[in-house]
Amino acid sequence: MTGDHSHHGHMHDHEHMHGDGVIHSHPHSHEENHEHHSDCPGEAILRVDGVAFSYKSHSVLEDIEVGVSRGEILAILGPNGVGKSTLLRCMNMILRPQKGAILVDNADLSKMSANDIAKNVGYVAQRSEAARMTVFDSVLLGRKPHISWKLTKEDYAMVEDALAKFGLSSMQLRYIDEISGGELQRVCVCRAIVQEPSVLLLDEPTSALDLSRQMEILHLIRHVVDQHNCATIMTMHDLNLALRFADRFVFMKGGKIYAACDKWGVTPELIQEVYGIEVDVIFHNELPVVIPK
């Protein structure tokens, strides 16, 4: 199926909608399915409400509105330096937005302690440092927000389960500065999972991984989201991987959200407006594939 023509109509709505750079929670479009696709389905577990962020006088994010529901993977896409990682860091208050609020289950994160935020939102940084600690120790660290003084049986059991699920059991006593990049990435995601967050934030989870490791980690993330009924928001550069694994997409441009859509909304026009290059969007096995011309 080649869907690029049949979805042209949607695109023009998108352009009008996002001309002012704002995502409206109730799009003006009258097309039934479009409305469904462009907004967050169901009750949002995490909602970014009118967030603005600047480093000193340099504005990075303006007027951001995004939401994600349980069981959903949201990909934040856009060119380098557009503010994707900054937005992600605002979502768990590593960076404090100057305006707006981040709501998790309708609770304002700015009113929570760092430890309580960590119980709700897990975060995997783009780069992780490999200290001289074992895989088990590193994953156990994910229990930190829940540990008061002593580790409990549940802490150990949870780590043991997560390691097995991530295929890390056989290397649980190896030092993380001696494992491969793909394994380290799995360790970091695994650590965020045992944190038991309702929302998982992943900054470029597939960068620095080979093709099979990219697929492996994204399959794992999909599995975790489905099984734990949590939500995941991830920034990505690889459009086709994002299109394959995420449920919805947010395209950023100039520190604002330019468009939000599901896979049917990804058109050559949208990609050109966001990335400035001409592409074809073809459908392969019901999935859109972006191919630069």
Partner 1 sequence: MKHDAADYKSYVGKKAGIIIVGIILCVVLFLLTISVGAITIPIPDVIATLLHGPGGTGLFDRALWNIRIPQALTAVVAGAGLAIAGVAMQSVLRNPLASPFTLGLSNAAAFGAAVGILLFGAGTTGSSIADAVVVNNPYLTTICAFVFSLATTAIILAIAKVRGATPETMVLAGVAISSLFSAGLMAIQYFVDDTQLASIVFWQFGDVSRASWSELGLITAVVAVCSLYLFIKRWDFNAIDAGEETAKGLGVNVSRTRLLGMIAASLISAIVVAFLGVIGFVGLVCPHMMRRIVGDDHRFLIPASVICGALLLLAADTVARTIIAPQVLPVAVLTSFLGAPIFIYLIIKGRRM
Binding site for partner 1 (CB under 8 A): 89, 92, 94, 113-119, 121-125, 127-129, 131-134, 136-138, 141-142, 144-145, 147, 156-157, 159-160, 163, 169-170, 172-173, 175, 188, 191-192, 195, 201
Q: C-beta of 85: minimal distance to partner 1 in Å?
A: 10
Q: Which residue, 127 or 293, is less far from partner 1 as judged by CB?
A: 127
By C-beta, is 5 or 127 nearer to partner 1? 127
User: Longest C-alpha distance within the chain, in Å?
Assistant: 60
* 3-class DSSP state of 90: helix
Q: Give min distance, CB of 22 to partner 1, in A.
A: 29
Residue carrying structure tokens 């409305």 = 35
Question: Judged by CB, which is closer to partner 1: 94, or 215?
Answer: 94
Name, in order, each residue with C-beta under 8 angstroms of 17's C-beta and a sequence gap of 6 or more: 23, 24, 27, 28, 29, 38, 259
Structure tokens that stand for 100 in this block: 């707006």
Q: Nearest Cα to 183, choosing from 138, 236, 140, 142?
A: 138
The alpha carbon of 127 is separated from its chain's Cα centroid by a whole number of angstroms, namely 15
Report residue 114 as tokens.
Answer: 């760092």
| Closer Cβ to partner 1, 166 or 249, answer by number | 166
> Residue 130 Cβ, how far from partner 1 at the closest point, in Å?
9
CB of 251 to partner 1, least distance (A): 24
180: CB partners within 8 A, 6+ apart: none
Minimum CB separation from partner 1 for residue 124, in Å?
7
By C-beta, is 230 or 281 nearer to partner 1?
230
